[in-house]
């Protein structure tokens, strides 16, 4: 049975039993304590915590999940994976154990012809929490499972909590006996390789007040409404129903693994090391594809770092399989899209965007590998120079943390050089980094209390009505006031406050559009200046600002009014973003998908996916096309449609954005059509003018364009016009000839600078003979010190030091030359072969000089360079080196 069919049967079974089929949420978690959705219940967490009222009592879903804590174990075993799909059915205060257990049994044991999974009843086992007699009785008396196949287990195995105060309770797990060839008899408590867990039924029936660990918590009392949360791993279920040994051999994963083996000319199942690499590639390519499809782009922080690490581990393991510098991620991404595309059709629709991001990251990392290899080679040289055999853990950590160089690659390359790596130090530094990350995560969890307060407010107020599409002011009621995250009855003058109204014209920041600003005047005479507006929970709009005068009271009648000119300027920018998006798609193809934006008054930035830099000619063409469209003065219309209908209309959906079943479509004539909740102008002509300032890279496969709109664009061009006029006047050149004239001047200037450099170098080197002739004897060493005049560059100082050293042949010599090329002192030390034989080292001597200058330096034994911050100390630096030579 294919994975897609397993998902269909699961959803259909529970839909027939009154469950709302809920589409998978994005992998980008709404929960601020999570980078990525890591469990099937995460999208429903606010309902379980009582922060929001569920819109249905029963639900079922196939949820995309990513877990990365055990990423280093992926591939080493056949059980670990980063991406998985969790099938789940949920009850919010509706049914409980009496239905959850029979539902699971019926679906598992019903024949395939009847829509079930056809499991033989005699091969299923169940576990229950040790004190859960109720679940035990249901299994034995209602389901009819023999008592000897129901096992009781403790807190570690059969009790569930969220890790924070909230609902928790016992659980019952269902296991499938794979047979004696997989292990010993005795049920799940004896062998969980033979007895494979297929479904976990969680019974949330208690309120936990303090949670110290999975097995250490305080129970406050029973929940007023009991809830059901179940989870069945689709990949594990597929392994059983497809008759394969593990999740890497199921249809969606095998497609990628088999292609990776074919591309690298290896065979799965013949070599343990190759098998590990093939499993890593299969898992990580599927995970990376799903993450990019949900709007994640590679970066050095947060979820972007998770994606980057996953893709780079894939490339690393392809190299281990013999790929070298060949680029295979494009084909492997295709395999992942085809494998998952039936369950998640958006992957196929967004394939061009996904390829652009992943291809660019592959190209970037292959360059990083070359850079990292050069840095590693330098570390090896330094290690061997010290006559050591161990590369320091700090160097390995820097390669890993700064350059993205995998530790296993460092270990392998070190072994090839006959060296080892101080793994203990490396692991210590990695652990310190993880502890910092955990501390940050723990700090974020304290935000749960604030979310709970906001949840209560949302429950009390209901969904806040946004009136800002049609009005810039509105009468409303103050539903609640928050000061410092706490609900308060009033807030006095000067207090920073968060205000919740039952209706508002203020647009909350979202979709790239900055929030409105303005004022809220209350019936009590108080006035609140609104500086920011956010939606911390869906349906809840929070106005952040300061009480300008009077005392704000919860329950007051309010008159909310936005800054109209700011709104108009932002709306122009937002409409311009849509048009520029369409322009780049027309110029570069549909793979130029929006990857972020910011719409501010008079200006905007637009991020989009592209394989490389956009040529200036394309920027000009896009700008010209968009401005020509402005002249047509197209009407801008917004309408609400079911999301499937909107997609059929050709409306673009933006990556990383979450959409409900009903969506708002914004159309600019026939030129642009996008899903968007932002505010816009009435006609394109109101934008006046768009001026693209330029573009740049902000990450692998992502470019950023910045532009001005309306009067800001006009002011910019006016300033440019004045500057061009001034240049034309000063150079006595017609405007149209300015580029050629300026280019000629720059060329002549550079040639003049080069000639000056040559003259200065000759002048510097002319004194080399004089300096060598004036060498002093310091403890049997020919010692030369010289302070060069201002303006002599570091390169000239090095040439001079080497030239003087070359004239002091046949005897130990040390030459130190110093200068101040750019307001900061530079010092160069050169030591002859005979000097090095006496133990003199240029690197050590330059360190002495640099210390006196208040800086640092280094280099090789024969030539080294340093610097500092105190030019007045050059004399002392030269004297300090002389003393150091004399003391040898």
Q: Do 130 and 153 contact (CB within 8 A), yes or no? A: yes
Residue 18 confidence (pLDDT): 95
**pLDDT confidence of 350, banded at 50, 70, 90?**
confident
Q: Which residue has the higher pLDDT, 453 or 259?
A: 259
Q: Do 633 and 669 contact (CB within 8 A), yes or no? A: no
**Mean pLDDT value of segment 63-72:** 86
Residue 45 confidence (pLDDT): 85
Token pair 């569920």 is found at 54
**pLDDT confidence of 699, banded at 50, 70, 90?**
confident
DSSP for 172-232, please give it: EEEEEE--GGGS-SS-TTT-TTTEEEEEEEEEEEEEEEEEEETTEEEEEEEEEEEEEEEEE
Distance CA 719, CA 691 (A): 13
Distance CA 44, CA 14 (A): 17
In this predicted structure, which of 446-460, 483-497, 551-565, 682-696 has the lowest mean pLDDT?
446-460
Residues of each annotated binding site for Zn(2+) = 574, 578, 676, 680
Residue 427 confidence (pLDDT): 85
Residues of each annotated binding site = 574, 578, 676, 680
Residue 319 clears pLDDT 80, i.e. is over it:
yes
Residue 446 confidence (pLDDT): 34
SS3 (DSSP) at 704: strand
**Mean pLDDT value of segment 690-713:** 88
Return the top range by mean pLDDT from 24-38, 331-345, 384-398: 331-345
The domain spans of the chain are 3-244, 251-357, 448-562, 567-718, 767-886
CA separation, residue 655 to residues 20, 291, 358, 816 (Å): 25, 10, 15, 60
Residues of the chain with pLDDT > 90, as a percent, come to 49
pTM of the model: 0.65
Q: Which residue has the higher pLDDT, 633 or 434?
A: 633
CA 609 from chain centre, in angstroms, equals 15
SS3 content of the chain, % helix, strand, coil (to 5): 45, 25, 30
For domain 3-244, give the CATH superfamily. Answer: Bira Bifunctional Protein; Domain 2 (3.30.930.10)
Under DSSP, the state recorded for 143 is I
Q: Which residue has the higher pLDDT, 791 or 768?
A: 768
Residue 660 confidence (pLDDT): 64
Residue 334 clears pLDDT 50, i.e. is over it:
yes
**pLDDT confidence of 4, banded at 50, 70, 90?**
very high
Residue 542 confidence (pLDDT): 93
Enumerate residues 6+ apart whose C-beta is below 8 A from 235: 3, 81, 84, 85, 247, 250, 252, 253
Q: Do 576 and 712 contact (CB within 8 A), yes or no? A: no
**pLDDT confidence of 706, banded at 50, 70, 90?**
very high
Q: What b/e string do you get for 804-837 counting C-beta neighbours within 10 Å, with b at 16 or more?
A: bbebbeeebbbbbbbbbbeeebbbbbbbbebbee
Residue 441 clears pLDDT 50, i.e. is over it:
no
Tell me the per-residue pLDDT of 799-828, one tens digit each, with 9 for 90 and over. 889 999 999 888 899 999 998 887 788 999
Bridge partner residues of 169 (DSSP): 160
**pLDDT confidence of 20, banded at 50, 70, 90?**
very high
Q: Which residue has the higher pLDDT, 858 or 574?
A: 574
Q: Do 710 and 602 contact (CB within 8 A), yes or no? A: yes
Please give the CATH architecture assigned to the domain spanning 767-886.
Roll (3.10)
Q: Which of 462, 660, 503 is nearest to 30 (CA)?
A: 660
Residue 655 clears pLDDT 60, i.e. is over it:
no
CATH 3.40.50.970 fits 567-718, yes or no: no
Q: Which of 191, 196, 275, 201 is nearest to 240 (CA)?
A: 196
CATH, domain 448-562, list 3.40.50.150, 2.40.30.130, 3.40.120.10, 3.10.180.10: 2.40.30.130
**pLDDT confidence of 445, banded at 50, 70, 90?**
very low
Report how far apart the first and last C-alpha atoms of the chain are (Å, whole number). Answer: 81
**pLDDT confidence of 567, banded at 50, 70, 90?**
very high
CA separation, residue 442 to residues 36, 430, 438 (Å): 16, 18, 6
What value does the mean pLDDT of the chain take?
Answer: 88
Q: Which residue has the higher pLDDT, 657 or 719?
A: 719
**pLDDT confidence of 371, banded at 50, 70, 90?**
confident
Residue 482 clears pLDDT 70, i.e. is over it:
yes
**Mean pLDDT value of segment 706-731:** 90
Give the per-residue SS3 of 275-296.
HHHHHHHHHHHHHHHHHHHCCC
Residue 132 clears pLDDT 90, i.e. is over it:
yes
Residue 32 confidence (pLDDT): 65
Tell me the per-residue pLDDT of 727-761, one tens digit each, with 9 for 90 and over. 888 888 898 888 888 889 999 999 998 888 777 76
Tell me the per-residue pLDDT of 511-555, one tens digit each, with 9 for 90 and over. 889 999 999 999 989 999 999 999 888 788 999 999 999 999 999
């Amino acid at each position: 049975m294919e994975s897609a069919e397993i998902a269909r049967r699961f959803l259909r079974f529970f839909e027939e039993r009154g469950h709302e089929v809920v589409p998978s949420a994005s992998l980008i978690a709404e929960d601020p304590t999570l980078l990525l959705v890591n469990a099937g219940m995460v999208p429903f967490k606010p309902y379980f915590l009582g922060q929001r009222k569920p819109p249905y009592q029963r639900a079922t879903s196939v949820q995309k999940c990513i877990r990365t804590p055990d990423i280093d174990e992926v591939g080493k075993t056949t059980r670990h994976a980063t991406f998985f799909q969790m099938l789940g059915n949920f009850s919010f205060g509706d049914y409980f154990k009496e239905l959850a257990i029979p539902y699971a049994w019926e679906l598992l044991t019903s024949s395939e012809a009847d829509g079930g999974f056809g499991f033989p009843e005699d091969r299923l086992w169940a576990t229950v929490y040790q004190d859960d007699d109720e679940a035990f009785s249901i299994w034995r008396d209602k389901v009819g499972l023999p008592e000897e196949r129901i096992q009781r287990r403790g807190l570690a195995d059969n009790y569930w909590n969220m890790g924070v105060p909230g609902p928790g309770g016992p659980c019952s797990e269902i296991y499938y006996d794979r047979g004696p060839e997989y292990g010993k008899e005795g049920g799940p408590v004896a062998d969980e390789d033979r007895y494979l867990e297929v479904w976990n039924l969680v019974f949330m029936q208690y309120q936990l007040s303090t949670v110290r660990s999975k097995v250490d918590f305080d129970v406050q009392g029973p929940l007023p409404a009991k809830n059901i949360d179940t989870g069945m791993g689709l990949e594990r279920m597929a392994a059983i129903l497809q008759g394969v040994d593990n999740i890497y051999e199921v249809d969606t994963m095998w497609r990628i693994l088999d292609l990776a083996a074919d591309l690298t000319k290896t065979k799965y199942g013949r070599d343990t090391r190759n098998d590990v690499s093939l499993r890593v590639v299969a898992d990580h390519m599927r995970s990376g594809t799903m993450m990019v499809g949900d709007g994640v782009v590679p970066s050095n922080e947060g979820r972007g770092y998770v994606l980057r690490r996953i893709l780079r581990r894939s490339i690393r393991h392809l190299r281990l399989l013999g790929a070298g510098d060949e680029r295979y991620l494009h084909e492997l991404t295709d395999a992942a899209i085809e494998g998952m595309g039936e369950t998640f059709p958006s992957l196929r629709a967004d394939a061009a965007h996904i390829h652009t991001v992943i291809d660019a990251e592959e190209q970037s990392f292959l360059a990083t590998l070359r850079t990292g290899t050069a840095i590693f080679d330098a570390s090896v040289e330094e290690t061997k120079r010290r006559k050591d055999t161990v590369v320091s853990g700090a160097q390995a950590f820097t390669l890993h943390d700064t350059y993205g160089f995998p530790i296993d690659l460092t270990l392998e390359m070190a072994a090839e050089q006959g060296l080892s790596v101080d793994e203990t130090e490396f692991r210590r530094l990695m652990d310190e980094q993880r502890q910092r990350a955990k501390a940050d995560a723990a700090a974020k969890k304290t935000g749960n209390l604030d979310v709970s307060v906001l949840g209560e407010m949302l429950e009390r107020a209901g969904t806040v009505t946004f009136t800002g599409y049609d009005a810039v002011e509105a009468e409303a009621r103050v539903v609640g006031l928050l000061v410092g995250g706490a609900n308060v009855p009033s807030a006095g003058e000067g207090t920073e406050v968060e205000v919740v109204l039952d209706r508002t014209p203020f647009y909350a920041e979202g979709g790239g559009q900055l929030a409105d600003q303005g004022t809220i005047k209350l019936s009590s005479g108080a006035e609140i200046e609104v500086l920011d507006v956010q939606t911390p929970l869906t349906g809840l709009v929070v106005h952040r600002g300061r009480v300008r005068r009077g005392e704000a009271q919860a329950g007051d009648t309010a008159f909310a009014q936005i800054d109209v000119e700011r709104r108009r300027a932002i709306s122009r920018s937002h409409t311009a973003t849509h048009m520029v998006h369409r322009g780049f798609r027309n110029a570069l193809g549909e793979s130029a998908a929006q990857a972020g934006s910011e719409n501010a008054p008079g200006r905007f930035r637009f991020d989009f996916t592209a394989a490389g830099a956009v040529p200036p000619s394309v920027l000009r063409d896009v700008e010209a096309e968009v401005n020509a469209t402005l002249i047509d003065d197209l009407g801008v219309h917004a309408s609400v449609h079911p999301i499937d209908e909107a997609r059929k209309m050709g409306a673009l959906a933006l990556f990383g954005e979450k959409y409900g079943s009903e969506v708002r479509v914004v159309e600019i004539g026939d030129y642009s059509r996008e899903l968007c909740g932002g505010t816009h102008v009435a006609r394109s002509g109101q934008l006046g003018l768009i001026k693209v300032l330029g573009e740049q890279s902000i990450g692998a496969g992502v470019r950023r364009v910045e532009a001005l709109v309306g009067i800001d664009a006009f002011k910019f061009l006016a300033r440019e016009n004045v500057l061009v006029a001034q240049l034309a006047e000063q150079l006595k050149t017609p405007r149209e000839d300015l580029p050629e004239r300026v280019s000629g001047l720059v060329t002549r200037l550079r040639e003049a600078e080069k000639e000056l450099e040559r003259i200065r170098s000759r002048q510097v080197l002319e004194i080399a003979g004089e300096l060598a002739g004036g060498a002093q004897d310091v403890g049997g060493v020919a010692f030369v010190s010289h302070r060069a005049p201002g303006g002599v560059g570091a390169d000239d100082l090095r040439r001079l030091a080497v030239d003087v050293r070359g004239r002091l042949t046949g005897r130990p010599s040390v030459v130190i030359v110093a200068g101040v090329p750019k307001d900061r002192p530079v010092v160069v030390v050169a030591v002859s072969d005979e000097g090095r034989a006496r133990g003199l080292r240029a690197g050590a001597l330059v360190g002495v000089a640099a210390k006196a200058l208040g800086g640092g330096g280094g280099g090789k034994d024969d030539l080294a360079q340093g610097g500092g911050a105190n030019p007045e100390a050059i004399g002392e630096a030269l004297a300090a080196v002389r003393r150091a030579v004399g003391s040898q």
